[in-house]
Amino acid sequence: MLEARTPAHDDLIDHLVRTTPLQRGEAARVVLDVLAYFDETTTEFVRRRHREMQAKGMTNAEIFDRVTEELPHRAVAPPELSLRQLRRIVYG
C-alpha cells in the first residue's frame, strides 16, 4: 500500500483539511484512494471494468465497446487496444 506520510502527501492532506469539511484521517484516505486510482494499470482497469459491467448484466460486446470508449480518458491514456487485445487481457 502507498505510504501517506511523505511531506508531499502531508501538504496535500493539510490543504484538503483547510479547504473541505474532511478530518485529517478522512483526507489521508482520500489521498490514498486517488493515488491508488491513478496507479491502476491498463490491465487492472480493463479487468475491473469488465467485472463491474458484467455484474450489471451487460454483454461482452457492450462491455468492450464501453471500455474502448473509456480508455482514452484515463489520466495517462494507454495506446489504443484492439478488441482482441481487450479479450486477451480479460481471459488470458
* Torsional sign, CA 10, 12, 14, 16: negative
**Which pLDDT band holds residue 7 (cuts at 50, 70, 90)?**
low
CB contact at 8 A, 86 and 67? yes
Give residue-wise pLDDT tens across range 13-47: 999 999 999 999 999 999 999 988 888 999 999 99
Residue 71 DSSP symbol? G
Indicate whether 59 and 84 sit together in one domain.
Answer: yes
CB contact at 8 A, 17 and 27? yes
For residue 52, is pLDDT > 80? yes
Do the domain assignments include residue 1? Answer: no
Do the domain assignments include residue 80? Answer: yes
Do the domain assignments include residue 27? Answer: yes
Q: Could you tell me which residue, 79 or 4, shows the higher pLDDT?
A: 79
Domain count, the chain: 2
Look at residues 74, 13, 22, 26 and name the one whose alpha carbon lies nearest to residue 48: 74
Range of the domain at 21: 7-39
Do the domain assignments include residue 2? Answer: no
Indicate whether 74 and 85 sit together in one domain.
Answer: yes
Is this prediction's pTM over 0.85?
Answer: no
**Which pLDDT band holds residue 2 (cuts at 50, 70, 90)?**
very low
